[in-house]
A and B are shown apart, each in its own frame.
Chain A
Amino acid sequence: MKFFRPLCRWLFVTFVAYPICLVVLGMNVRHRVRLPLKGPAIVTPNHNSHLDTLAMLTLFPLSVIPKVRPVAAADYFMKTGLMGWFSLNFVGIIPIVRKRENPDDDPLAPCYEALERGEILIIFPEGTRGEPERMQQLKSGVAVLASKYPEVPVVPIFMHGLGKSMPKGAFVPVPFFVDVYIGQALTWGEDSQGGDKKVFMVAIESTLRVLSEKHERPEYE
């Protein structure tokens, strides 16, 4: 059983993520060297489409894949048994319960454990996909994690094209080339100005904005 989950994840990445992202879509990745290949680390891409998670998984080499964990909303992905089983074993999500039942519960507890195990977390700081190709207000969960683990690098990633391929509400992806810009790593120690969560989130947001402004993109409405 120890090998079951890694095997499922390799199968998923090889036979679902690679064909969709590398053949049907096609990815242009800028600054690939900035991607953290060893945990603990957090990557924070913008979020436009269900395909975002697949695209993120294709960035990492297969040897690292079992350690790469997308953080996802339990109320969406764990709704049904089958989807939950698939999300956990094949996509490898860490389910987060967004509405806490007990005020003492910490919804981020599973993320702490994962970082302790040296895993690489994928957290979409916008929280939800929203309007395709429009950035939304970032949620501060990443700052909470970073403040607990001040040494862990937080790498913002800007992606363009996936929202056009499969916006919220669409079920068939339409091929578009995807541009991925990997930002420089931030750390709580250096980028929070002495421990301010708001400052840290602004740092992530401005990194994403700078990356997005580098990119010439055609109009999409």
Chain B
Amino acid sequence: MDAHEGAVAHGARVVSSTIKSVPEVIPQPHFPEAVGYAFLGAYALLILATLITFVMSRVRPQRNYDELRLRIKTWWIIVTLVTLALGFNTYFSIICVAFVSFLAFKEYLSMIPTRRADHRVLFWAYMAIPAQYVLVGVHWYGVFIIFIPVYWFLLMPMRMVLIGETKGFLRAVGTLQFGLMTCVFSLSHAAYLLVLPPEGNPNGGGVALLFYLVFLTQLNDVSQYVWGKMFGRHKVTPTVSPNKTIEGLLGGVATTTFLAFVLAPWLTPLNHLQALAIGLLIGFGGFIGDVTISAIKRDMGIKDTGSFLPGHGGILDRLDSLTFTAPMFFHVVYFLYY
């Protein structure tokens, strides 16, 4: 009986049959009901996408849908893995985000020029990843926010100077710091949402904010692509990413803003005006993150950042927008509600 009442008091709209086995004291359910429904929504979208592809390939068999099918198949795997990553407890979720950071940083270092002399420097650069996510785990915000931009920023050139190779020094130290900032510092903001005090967001806590951020960012990518495919005419960044169009950008941002507005009352503490602003922020911010990684790829003369995700390219091809939206979203929400 106590268990029943306790759970109802914390998570609104709990179906009583689902909480019978829930232990007595749960200060804040890690995987709140709202997020459960949100995930069901994501799976519904995947089923819809799978069905549409199936119908299209029947209606127009002359066109090749293999690439699209592969992409959707990879989406299924990604969404399943994200469900598992968020489904257990906060620490497990943080470790999973840390591992994603590791994969992204590894992919970044594998695609940029590096110097043999920096072998040990790179080892220390990698060590920033566990350190940064431990800071998330112990929610030590003061150090979390300066660890990579200040301490590691100073440590990396120091270690490099001790090795003494000056040829290509500035490029090496600059590219390394850019990689740490985007792949580790930026992405760790997504994990920090999980340890924010639960009372800041009565609608599902940090995990709901994380879902909101990641879902909107990824959906923004997809809808910009779809709008661009359907109505795209005017190139928006002709020298960086010639496939991106104004129509795609605006259609995507509008879709994202609409969804941000609709989902906000279920998953976030944001009011209507704030939700609209966040939608625009994620829409445009995601676009800038996307084209920034595109610019790097163009600079390196490569098409994809890797081949980790079949149909998508590398893991950075999928996370590019998030490297911009995660810190932007985090700081707005942190400023407003924490």
Contact = CB atoms under 8 A, between A and B. Distances in A.
Q: Do the two shown chains form a genuine complex with each other?
A: yes
26 contacts: A26-B106, A26-B308, A28-B307, A28-B308, A170-B119, A174-B123, A174-B126, A175-B106, A175-B109, A176-B106, A176-B109, A176-B110, A177-B106, A177-B107, A177-B110, A177-B306, A177-B308, A216-B301, A216-B302, A218-B110, A218-B111, A218-B113, A218-B300, A219-B113, A220-B114, A221-B168
B143 to A, nearest CB: 25
Contacts of A220: 113-116
Contact of A161 (B110, B112, B168): B110
A28 B103 CA distance: 13
Contacts of A1: none
A142 to B, nearest CB: 28
B102 interface: yes
A67 interface: no
Interface in B92-126: 102-103, 106-107, 109-116, 119, 122-123, 126
Nearest to B122: A174
A28 B306 contact: yes
Contacts of B116: 132, 164, 167, 220-221
A66 B301 CA distance: 41
Contacts of B123: 172, 174
Nearest to B112: A218
Given A161-B110, A176-B106, 20 more contacts: A26-B103, A26-B308, A132-B116, A164-B114, A164-B116, A170-B119, A174-B122, A176-B110, A177-B110, A216-B302, A218-B110, A218-B111, A218-B112, A218-B114, A218-B300, A219-B113, A220-B113, A220-B114, A220-B115, A221-B115
Interface centre among B103, B116, B300, B306 (most CB of A within 10 A): B116
Contacts of A28: 306-308
A32 to B, nearest CB: 13
Interface of B: 102-103, 106-107, 109-116, 119, 122-123, 126, 168, 300-302, 306-308
A167 B118 CA distance: 12
Nearest to A178: B110
Contacts, number: 46
Closest 10 CB pairs of A and B: A219-B113, A177-B110, A218-B113, A174-B122, A175-B106, A176-B110, A28-B307, A174-B123, A216-B302, A170-B119
Contacts of B106: 26, 175-177
Nearest to A177: B110
Contacts of A164: 114, 116
Interface centre among A26, A132, A161, A172 (most CB of B within 10 A): A26
Given A218-B111, A219-B113, A220-B116, A175 B126 contact: yes
Contacts of B110: 161, 176-177, 218
Nearest to A160: B110
Contacts of B308: 26, 28, 177
A219 B300 CA distance: 10
A154 B107 CA distance: 32
Nearest to B302: A216
Interface string A93-123: 0000000000000000000000000000000
Nearest to A131: B116
Interface string A161-202: 100100100101011110000000000000000000000000
Contacts of B103: 26
Contacts of A177: 106-107, 110, 306, 308
A167 B112 CA distance: 18
A167 B106 CA distance: 17
Contacts of B302: 216
B79 to A, nearest CB: 21
A123 B103 CA distance: 31
Contacts of B119: 167, 170, 174
A220 B110 CA distance: 10
Nearest to B118: A174
Interface string A27-63: 0100000000000000000000000000000000000
Interface in A1-42: 26, 28
